[in-house]
Amino acid sequence: MSDEAVTVEVPARNLGLVKGFGVLGILGGIALIVVGIIVWIMVSTQLRAENITIPDDAIAFQGATVQGPLTAYVQADIIQTHALHASGGKTYAELAQDDPVRATMMNASFLRASLFTSVVSFGVAAFAMGVGILFIIVGWALHRLASAPVVVKRSGIAGASPAP
């Protein structure tokens, strides 16, 4: 019958570079989260400053101020609905060049593009924050793995020296 002894030894190789990558991952993740939050706040503040109120015939958020990705999307949707109603269901490209409604459709298209740009900006900010969280987790894992001692199992009779 043999007893198993566990010996903890310091790693034989230098893992400082791995630890460094772990720290860089954590710092990069924090930077991505901070930048994502800053962009989110900046876009939200700019939208709010426009004082756009969602009309009562929108699909959601009636009477709310446009300030986030969902309200921006809903506002873009209702602008399209109103513009198509004004043009009799025709898009900007389908209207004759001398049609006076063409300017309304062009303005509606510009407004929608601006609102969709803000929706994309919110998405990029959220993506940056998500990647930042992932970087922090991976960086922490790398740092932790590089810091962990190596566990070596040797079998033998208790009190006897292990075989070479």
| pLDDT > 90: percent of the chain | 75
Q: Give the pLDDT score at 107.
A: 95
Residue 4 maps to a domain: no
pLDDT band, residue 16 (cuts 50/70/90): confident
* Residue 88 clears pLDDT 60, i.e. is over it: yes
> Are 38 and 30 within 8 A, CB to CB?
no
Work out how many domains the chain is built from and give that number.
Answer: 1
Nearest to 16 by CA among 160, 147, 124, 163: 147
* Residue 129 clears pLDDT 90, i.e. is over it: yes
Residue 5 maps to a domain: no
22-81 pLDDT, tens digit per residue, is: 999 999 999 999 999 999 999 999 999 999 999 999 999 999 999 999 999 999 999 999
* Residue 135 clears pLDDT 80, i.e. is over it: yes
What are the residues whose beta carbons fall under 8 Å from the beta carbon of 92, sequence distance 6 or more?
102, 105, 106, 108, 109
| Domain interval for residue 62 | 19-147
Residue 10 maps to a domain: no
What are the residues whose beta carbons fall under 8 Å from the beta carbon of 85, sequence distance 6 or more?
none
Q: Give the pLDDT score at 157.
A: 53
Residue 11 maps to a domain: no
Residue 153 maps to a domain: no
Residue 154 maps to a domain: no
Q: Which pair of structure tokens corresponds to residue 113? A: 């593009």
Q: Give the pLDDT score at 113.
A: 96
Residue 127 maps to a domain: yes
* Residue 125 clears pLDDT 90, i.e. is over it: yes
Q: Give the pLDDT score at 163.
A: 53
* Rounded-to-integer distance, Cα 93 and Cα 103, Å: 11
* Rounded-to-integer distance, Cα 40 and Cα 124, Å: 9
Residue 51 maps to a domain: yes
Amino acid at site 133: I
